[in-house]
Chains A and B, each alone.
Chain A
Amino acid sequence: MLQNILDFVFGRLKPSDFVHDPIMAGAGFAMVGALILAIIGLTYFKKWGWLWRNWITSLDPKKIGVMYILVSVIMLLRGLADALLLRAQQATDGSAGLLTSDHFQQIFSAHGSIMIFFVAMGIIFGVFNLIIPSQIGARDVAFPFLNSVSFWLFAAGMILINAPLIVGEFSTAGWLAYPPLSELQYSPGVGVDYWIWSLQIAGIGSLLSGINFFVTILKMRAPGMTLMKMPIFVWSALTSTGLIMFAFPILTATLGMLSLDRLMGMHFFTATGGGNPMMYVNLIWAWGHPEVYILVLPAFGIFSEVVSAFSGKKLFGYTSMVVALLAIAILSFTVWLHHFFTMGAGADVNTFFGIMTMIIAIPTGVKVFNWIFTMYRGRVRFATPMLWFMGFIVTFTLGGLAGVLMSVPPADFQFHNSLFLVAHFHTMIVGGVLFGAFAGFAYWFPKFTGFTLNERLGRYAFWNWIVGFLLAFVPLYILGFMGATRRLDHYDPSMGWQGLFVVAGIGVAIICVGVFFQLLQLGYSIWKRNDNRVGSDPWNGRSFEWSIASPPPEYNFAVIPTVTQRDEFWELKKKKHGSLLKSHYEDIWLPKNSGLGPIIGAFALAFGIAVIWHMWWLLIVGLVGVVVTLIIRLTSDETEEKMTAAEVAKHELKRGIV
């Protein structure tokens, strides 16, 4: 009887699920400890109200953007710790017994999933939130409440993917969980369910956010800003969010079918019962390949802004850049099969997808040439964002060369699933997305704080990163040629791989030093902020975000600017018009704070926990909770509040802008 009640309440959760090996338990305790410390701190300094009012319930995209970045940074540290463990295990060829194979497989599955979904995606949405409204001369996004819901779904997914450190286990099936390995037959535990539902919940958040920014860009641009007058970063965001809208539904459907297999014994992807695992592989990459470009296109946009600003020059070949972005976006849906040339689809099919893949190299190459030519006849200032740009071109070009090698199917047969492949996509994602994020961080940091980051520490971070990066990944290219496959928790010492693995491990350690310098740079810059105070336009920028105060007021623009040409702000500065602002202010409507976003996130989290642990009552609670909360929001009036013209004028006066 008692057992029945326990089963009903806790599903398949048993006390033994809380027992972990020392490394995992350590990580879990560290996370819980940090959380408890944060709670104590907030209580002691009586900051709960401040946290709730200013951050958690805020619908200001700038606040939401900062929260995205914060989560991404924490997750980056988690993913980096995972990488360190993986490298330590392989540097000791597994004989040291640091990790069991099961634990090792959980770690690389978590590393990949976290880095893509909770670091890279978090960064791009953070940057979208922070930058896009002010670049297009808007006060807000199209759907402020939806924006909050997106973030809290993302946060719920983040909590779910870290929960296995405390309770249960994570998937051991890799970051894309190919069936039949990820089916019940081979993975009966909760691991794959954790993977499915953390991605599913965060993925729905990503889809909603993608729609939000797509609409924002199309509908909320300042008067006169036609599509071809948009800053190039906005173009990159438009193409990226367009891809999100088409790609993420595929992910949702695919994960949905996999979970139906696992929950209800269906046979979409099982090896038996008429299921087709190959279909899963096709579907997941039909999302997965566009996903790569969803991540990297905004990074392209950031680099375009950076190289143009720091060269004091217009972006070279703006039209080409836009055409290239669109071409890459469209082509990205026609290449998914290159992730499994080895499935035996036949020479005709492989040839088609091989050639389509190579064609993407053309617009990408054009972008590289245009970036380089933006510096031509410019005045290039090598501040940290430019260092990241230089590092990006070098790594991205090398990684692109490796990519072209793998786009030839018979050559790919020798590279597929080897460490060469691992090195390739790390070169592209670290060298592209992450370096882009770092460049953007240093570039836009003063906009949101009013002071710059310390340059010297930034340079130290960069050099450690680039040297560590080469040391960490060049050995993996060589190991690929030696026949070393990915995801090996141990290998025969006679293969002669250990030296290279040790070098790769040292590389990751040097990257960690780079990350340490970045954290130090952040802390030091905040500490010495009064030495680095700058005005609203420290880099002599080109687009509208530099025309407003640093940090920007909640309403961004007291007066919405009018656009007549590209780089409007830059051109106005040249004409010495000084200020864009007329002293005629009007009332501004801003969205009121809403606690319903985080509540929806909490119900979604409950739903996730329920479906993972088979607590069916909680599943109903979560589902009903989400729906009811949405109804409450949709039926409530007065979601906006007015800031009168007089108040705006007062704000602006205080800043001394008028």
Chain B
Amino acid sequence: MRKEKKRDFRRVKQILISGFIAVIILGILAFVTYGRAIPVLDPKGLIADQERNLILLTFGLGLVIVIPVFIMLFSIAWRYRASNTKARYEPDFANHKGIEALWWGIPCIIILVLGIITAVSTHALDPFKPISSSVQPVKIEAVSLNWRWLFIYPDEGIATMNYINIPKDTPINFMITSDAPMNSFWIPALAGQVYAMSGMSTQLHVMADSTGTFTGSSANISGDGFADMHFKVNSMNEADYKTWATNTFNSTKTTLLTDDSYKKLAVASHDSSQQTFLLMDYSLYNEIIMKYMSPGDSKVNSVDASGTSI
């Protein structure tokens, strides 16, 4: 009797301590998370918004399984603990067709629902699919270099490095390639990522629904300066955007982006500063892709890891 009391007391103590630790952990996590930007859950663009909704929907469907699992795990473990001699003990109870049919069946139904959601959403949110809108889209050609991003605006005749200005509520059509190892082009506030691969052109379509500055980055390791491959996306009103583009195009101070100056940019560099250029070679993007297409020419852009040309 006394022993049992002692054990009960210990159990209460254990529960109190673990509860206390759990509260502290949650408190710390809340403290270090509160007020920070969480772009995936707090998106600023049409596509990212739909992706967020999809994430929450899938999460909800998952909980349909996870919550019963947790309830069953702890209640059964507690009820059939060895010290509880009142509980039934049936060491040979190992088959029950009905119960098993239940947990083959319910997950099947959930996966069927999720499968349909997947098929529909994967087609709807295909990054290659243009966004239908009455507004004329802005075309941007993104090139990942070692270790920075070059953005070419062929229609505006300008180019930028490590930042993009975009008009809000306007579809942006990104064409993406790489003149470096594979990178991944990701602006979490606007849309999920797509790989940037040399000799290939991938696409991403986004549309910002508010003004503001978002961060984008490369999500795939590409060498020594990979951590510097982040860039700013400034979403602005259409008028501001037009003004910026026109001013940049007309300014005599803007640096020229020619074949030669591009070659200098393509050399490995840790310089992640923002720059703006006047585009001189309108087919530059295609040339970057094509130079990986010529057979046998393995000397293209030979840059060793330390950043020196060889």
Contact = CB atoms under 8 A, between A and B. Distances in A.
Contacts of A497: 36
Contact of B297 (A179, A265, A273, A278): A273
A393 B73 contact: yes
A416 B55 CA distance: 13
Contact of B91 (A180, A314, A481, A486): A314
A375 to B, nearest CB: 5
Interface in A480-523: 480-483, 485-492, 495-497, 499-500, 502-503
B114 interface: yes
B118 A482 contact: no
B73 A372 contact: yes
Nearest to B291: A272
B303 A186 contact: yes
B80 A377 contact: yes
A316 B111 contact: no
Nearest to B128: A344
A497 B32 CA distance: 8
Contacts of B36: 482, 495-497, 499
B81 A380 contact: yes
B42 to A, nearest CB: 9
B127 A346 contact: no
Contacts of A416: 184, 192-193, 219
Contacts of B230: 492
A342 B111 contact: no
Contacts of A485: 186, 217-219
Contacts of A374: 94
Given A273-B298, A372-B72, A482 B225 contact: no
B121 interface: yes
Interface stretch (A31-39, A72-80, A286-294, A352-360): A352-360
A528 to B, nearest CB: 24
Given A181-B223, A416-B219, A467 B25 contact: yes
Nearest to B124: A410
Contacts of A452: none
A185 B215 CA distance: 30
Nearest to B301: A185
Interface residues of A, number: 109
B297 A410 contact: no
B122 A365 contact: no
A541 to B, nearest CB: 13
A369 interface: yes
Contacts of A398: 66
A375 B117 contact: no
A271 B119 contact: no
A411 B199 contact: no
B192 A180 contact: no
A495 B104 contact: no
B165 to A, nearest CB: 19
Contacts of A311: 80
A500 B194 contact: no
Nearest to A482: B38
A490 B227 contact: yes
Given A185-B302, A344-B194, A355-B119, A483 B39 contact: yes
Contacts of B65: 365
B32 A475 contact: yes
A350 B119 CA distance: 9
B77 interface: yes
B226 interface: yes
A436 interface: no
B32 A270 contact: no
A590 interface: no
Contacts of A277: 182, 197
B39 A482 contact: yes
A539 B221 CA distance: 48
A85 B59 CA distance: 33
Interface string A418-440: 10000000000000000000000
A657 interface: no
Given A361-B111, A377-B80, A475-B29, A372 B69 contact: yes
Given A376-B80, A405-B62, A390 B92 contact: no
A370 B94 CA distance: 9
Interface string B226-254: 11001000000000000000000000000
Nearest to A498: B32
A646 interface: no
Interface in B44-89: 48, 50-52, 54-55, 58-59, 61-63, 65-66, 69-70, 72-73, 76-77, 80-82, 87-89
A381 B182 CA distance: 52
Contacts of B305: 102, 172, 186-189
A343 to B, nearest CB: 5
Contact of A188 (B119, B121, B304): B304
Given A271-B292, A483-B186, A503 B32 contact: yes
Contacts of A174: 221
Interface stretch (B2-10, B95-103, B150-158, B258-266): B95-103
Contacts of B92: 313-314
B33 interface: yes
Q: Of residues B21, B63, B128, B217, which shows the largest number of chain A Cβ atoms within 10 Å of its Cβ? A: B217
A413 interface: yes
B128 A358 contact: no
A373 interface: yes
Contacts of B211: none
Given A362-B111, A368-B69, A378-B89, A410 B192 contact: yes
Interface in B95-154: 95, 99-100, 103-104, 107-108, 111, 114-115, 117-119, 121-129
Contacts of A488: 226-227
B189 to A, nearest CB: 8
Interface string B28-43: 1101110111111100
A230 to B, nearest CB: 15
B193 to A, nearest CB: 5
Nearest to B295: A274
A482 B73 contact: no
B220 interface: yes
A270 B301 CA distance: 13
A487 B99 CA distance: 45
Contact of A375 (B54, B80, B111, B225): B80
A405 B227 contact: no
A350 B128 CA distance: 13
Contact of A408 (B25, B35, B103, B121): B121
A365 B103 contact: yes
A148 interface: no
A160 interface: no
A218 interface: no
A328 B303 CA distance: 44
Given A366-B104, A413-B193, A416-B192, A180 B118 contact: no
A490 B270 CA distance: 13
Contacts of A278: 197
B104 A408 contact: no
Contact of B125 (A94, A410, A417): A410
A312 B87 CA distance: 14
Task: List the 3 shortest-distance A-B pairs measured between CB atoms, nearest first.
Answer: A413-B192, A499-B32, A496-B36
Given A181-B182, A342-B192, A413-B194, 7 more contacts: A173-B221, A185-B302, A314-B92, A377-B89, A404-B62, A495-B37, A496-B36
Interface of B: 21, 25, 28-29, 31-33, 35-41, 48, 50-52, 54-55, 58-59, 61-63, 65-66, 69-70, 72-73, 76-77, 80-82, 87-95, 99-100, 103-104, 107-108, 111, 114-115, 117-119, 121-129, 181-182, 184, 186, 188-189, 191-195, 197-199, 202-203, 215, 217-227, 230, 292, 294-298, 300, 302-305
25 contacts: A101-B227, A102-B224, A174-B221, A180-B182, A265-B298, A273-B296, A273-B298, A314-B92, A316-B94, A342-B184, A342-B194, A342-B195, A344-B127, A351-B122, A351-B123, A366-B107, A377-B80, A377-B90, A401-B59, A409-B121, A411-B192, A413-B193, A416-B193, A482-B39, A503-B29
